[in-house]
Amino acid sequence: VQPSVDQVKLGNRRAIARLMTQVENDEAAAHEAIASLHSATGRAHIIGVTGPPGSGKSTLVNEIAKRMRQLHLTVGIVAIDPSSPFTGGALLGDRIRMRDLSGDDGIFIRSMASRGRLGGLARMTGSVVKILDAAGYNTILIETVGAGQAEVDIASAAHTTLVIETPGMGDEIQTIKAGILEIADILVVNKVDRPGSDRTVKALRAMLHMGLAPKPTGHHGVDTNMDTKERTNVKAQTTWEVAVLETIALEGKGIDTTVDAILAHETYLRESGEWLLREISRSRLEVDQLLQAQFISQLQATVPESEFKRLIVEVAKREIDPYSAVNQLYRQMQM
């Protein structure tokens, strides 16, 4: 049965869950439903939360969600879990989370396992976020493990990105290597009760200072069609300074300040005109992902699997070079 789009828009939890499952199992089938939800989206504030394993992301996300509920905001949580097949990490993390937040109708939680899904994951995440947005959730938190490009991409699909670090995650060079600082709108040093936290906070502030040029607007080189007049009419704060916040998520410390910063960033985005730029950037990512998916479908439809495999084996045996193999496949697709 096709999950009812109208029911999703009304916030029916079962319809939401059913459509999400369909997206995970067969995005193509859910295609039409997702397409027709698009016009009902664009209201939610989408927040990416990223950081290395062990930085306390899940705990922090839970605490942020609880605080937002106190402020009467409804919250969707999408947890991207690069779980091992051995132990079902996604389920495990979910249980812990559920124990904490379950029973509140203003919260909807969805865990997604990233294993073996490659490019498809970002696309599925986008669809799940779209469903939550159309269902009327005010805030959507996307939780991912940082460091990888795929995770950075998912975070790029957010309006506001929180990057979490912890004290003593290695020397400074290693911290730099994490290399996701440049995507942060808000930096959170969690577990500041650990030794070395002052050094980490100072190092991060110093690094931000070194790169203090204002964040480029319109990521991915897409211009907005706002004209200069519109821009100058904006009275609000026009630059955003990345703050370094300190939390102990397990004890609920620093959460109010973090949520205040998130809401301040939302206000900044909306009043400065940056919101539209980020929406354009998000749309660009979405269209790129869909284009790739369509290309793969076409490949599968026009080149028989057996022939594809035969070519791959020839490349492996050095009977043909990969560039010639690709040209051959490509010509076949054009017919």
Q: Taking CB under 8 A as the criterion, which residues in 58-117 touch a copy of itself? A: 81-87, 89, 92-93, 96, 114-115
Given the rule CB under 8 A, which of 18-26, 100-108, 219-227, 254-262 is the region that contacts a copy of itself? Answer: 219-227
Residue 112 · residue 121 · CB < 8 Å: yes
Asked if 228 interacts with a copy of itself (CB under 8 A), we say: no
Asked if 332 interacts with a copy of itself (CB under 8 A), we say: no
Q: Which residues contact 209 (CB under 8 A, 6 or more apart)?
A: none
**Chosen residue from 10, 29, 222, 234 binding a copy of itself by CB under 8 A:** 222
Asked if 8 interacts with a copy of itself (CB under 8 A), we say: no
Asked if 331 interacts with a copy of itself (CB under 8 A), we say: no
One-letter identity of residue 2: Q
d(CA 237, CA 169): 34
**Chosen residue from 72, 195, 323, 335 binding a copy of itself by CB under 8 A:** 323
**Chosen residue from 53, 103, 195, 214 binding a copy of itself by CB under 8 A:** 53
Asked if 238 interacts with a copy of itself (CB under 8 A), we say: no
- For residue 152, the minimal CB distance to a copy of itself (Å) is 8
Asked if 335 interacts with a copy of itself (CB under 8 A), we say: no
One-letter identity of residue 239: T
In three-state form (DSSP H/G/I as H, E/B as E, the rest C), the secondary structure along 94-155 is HHHHHHHHCCCCCEEEEEEECCCCCCHHHHHHHHHHHHHHHCCCCEEEEEEECCCHHHHHHH
323 DSSP 8-state letter: H
Asked if 178 interacts with a copy of itself (CB under 8 A), we say: yes
Cα–Cα distances (Å) from 194 to 55, 126, 178, 201, 247, in that order, read 12, 36, 20, 12, 11
Asked if 147 interacts with a copy of itself (CB under 8 A), we say: yes
Count of residues near a copy of itself by CB under 8 A:
85
Asked if 251 interacts with a copy of itself (CB under 8 A), we say: no
d(CA 43, CA 134): 8
Q: Which is nearer to a copy of itself, 106 or 148 (CB)?
A: 148
**Chosen residue from 12, 138, 175, 332 binding a copy of itself by CB under 8 A:** 175
